[in-house]
A and B are shown apart, each in its own frame.
Chain A
């Protein structure tokens, strides 16, 4: 069989990817079918059935879905809005792009220190509220914790999506907008029939990247609130991290397998829809 030259070039990278990602995943997959990490016996799909009966897992799953449902559309909408504003600017475009990109490069430790001191019960924000006569609010210890998590996610990732949208917007020919204006189209109509249509491929990419990044916000939340935060921000990653810490490898790998399958199906569906829409 004649191997194409392109394949030869990607083989080293592919080999590394398989060795450090696919191979460990396949090895760990074995744990999903046994009952104990040491001297375990084969249990078939029992771990998967038990997983969906586990209250903590279901809590983590529902919180994760709720978080993604709120934060991803909000992040996409805000980043598109900011991208459109910056795109229209004639001066200092790069400066404003940089401002929104700064949170992305701030180390997590510094970020955590900032958010902790701001949002702690005895933190700066509650201190300010007390001076204006408002009672202290439990930002991280009540149902408001979910919105704090959404805020941190948007603050960190808005710049990233904004850059992707800026690239997409810059590819839309200006003639389309001029023609539309000449034909009497309102700004809302231009946005709907020109902008949204032409940034659809970019939007699919932004959606996938936003979903991936929504899982990464766990790092900051974990550093601020620990392994067992308020129940409204206990996510799948908390569950999996805690399973690792307590040596429950069967349950950990079962949960990660389910997550991989869900994300793979979602990404496949999205890409297929995008391809059909382009056609």
Chain B
């Protein structure tokens, strides 16, 4: 009986090993070189699926893109899959102004479930042809060989011209010698200063060609600080994925605490504890306001609007979309956009100080939409054609895209700026008169000069960020000391990266 069972097990073992080898010889498992030959002349047909987590951000844009792509290539079919629930939308009327707030709840469990679902489908040799990189760990997929190296596609396709897109963005996203995802757009943050509070020599180094860290700005404003007017509008701590002043300082020194490429953590060398103490010190010195509700609550934000708008701050951290407001203010049209964690403040006298940089002088960017190509895809040519279509002028100027992010397609970026300034993007377009043309010229010049400084994309890991967010709240609510938090994070992140 023992011999019979032993023989049976050996047979099963041999069959399973043979099965593993057979998987590696199937056409889908072969390397991408055969897939990239003749890309520009390849027939575009077949069915592809594109999968993303964030429904609000992706769904309407992708469905429009799918429809137009299918019209262009009748032999194709594009399926769009989204995962998260649509966010709650609140509207209110205050002082005869209509305000709409979109409450996006952070859902770590939902994200984890989606990532788990994608992982399982990838491991079973399936999965969507195109994966949105909104929550997926792109560097892990790249390390595990689950994504196609898009550099090969870009080089092999004669219809793809790198000079049509922002070169420094495409260079910044390279990871371990390859391009594993393509961003459709980019955003950056810059510092604005209140010109009534800072003048003369203090502002000599400010401009669209400059880059600053928080520490540098504090040094520049030093003599003018009177203890009454706060230096920054970012509160010390806002609950959520690393927002507020803590989030900004963390981003400045992120790679000194976590290096995902070399898989090392450095929280307990003193730097992280010092960062936490610095944030607390800034709050005590009156540099920054204290965090209010600690919640990314749209209702609470809307209630805070009246008081926030009457405060002045030396510096405000703005995103690139605020440049629209910056150059529009002289045209008589006011645009007021508040995001959760934004401290607000009077913006009428704001001028550009410089782009946000980290401690090493690098200028990072973020994206709203980015996509990778699944190595398991059975129709990579059509998937690549769809990615190129998403990067085209037609799709990059779509009104279904967020108005905030800047298209990486150079021509589309200019066109979108025109649409935004004329109001056509929001459906209330008017012809550009001389004033608006000047606004457009100043806006695009500022955007391009600030964008030219971008030179890096910081790989972040949602698991590490969730660990940081979960522990840091104990410091700000007084439960733990900065050293305790730093030590706990060191152990946890080290365990995670060590795996």
Contacts and interface: CB of A to CB of B under 8 A. Distances in A.
A121 B499 contact: no
Contact of A22 (B9, B19, B145): B9
A278 interface: no
A72 B116 CA distance: 33
B376 interface: yes
A54 B29 contact: no
Interface residues of A, number: 38
B145 A239 contact: no
A54 B488 CA distance: 20
A26 B492 contact: no
B13 A29 contact: yes
B223 interface: no
A248 B276 CA distance: 34
Most buried by A among B123, B125, B144: B144
A245 interface: yes
B31 A39 contact: yes
Contacts of A22: 9, 12
A53 B434 CA distance: 68
B491 interface: yes
Contacts of A18: 8, 12
B493 to A, nearest CB: 8
B381 interface: no
A40 B495 contact: no
A121 to B, nearest CB: 6
Interface string A33-49: 01011111000000000
A56 interface: yes
Q: How large is the interface on B (under 10, 10 to 19, 20 to 34, 35 or more residues)?
A: 35 or more
Contact of A38 (B19, B146, B479, B499): B146
A109 interface: no
Contacts of B204: none
A7 B122 CA distance: 40
Interface stretch (A166-174, A176-184, A216-224, A228-236): A228-236
Interface in B431-463: 463
Contacts of A243: 499
Nearest to A6: B1
Given A7-B1, A249-B123, A38 B16 contact: no
A247 B495 contact: no
Contacts of B29: 38-39
B140 interface: yes
Interface string B148-176: 00000000000000000000000000000
Interface in B1-44: 1, 8-9, 12-13, 15-17, 19-20, 24, 29-31
Given A37-B123, A141-B488, A246-B499, 10 more contacts: A18-B12, A26-B15, A30-B20, A38-B145, A39-B375, A54-B499, A56-B495, A245-B116, A246-B119, A247-B144
Top 3 nearest A-B pairs (CB, nearest first) are: A30-B20, A56-B498, A26-B16
5 contacts: A26-B12, A27-B19, A30-B20, A55-B498, A228-B492
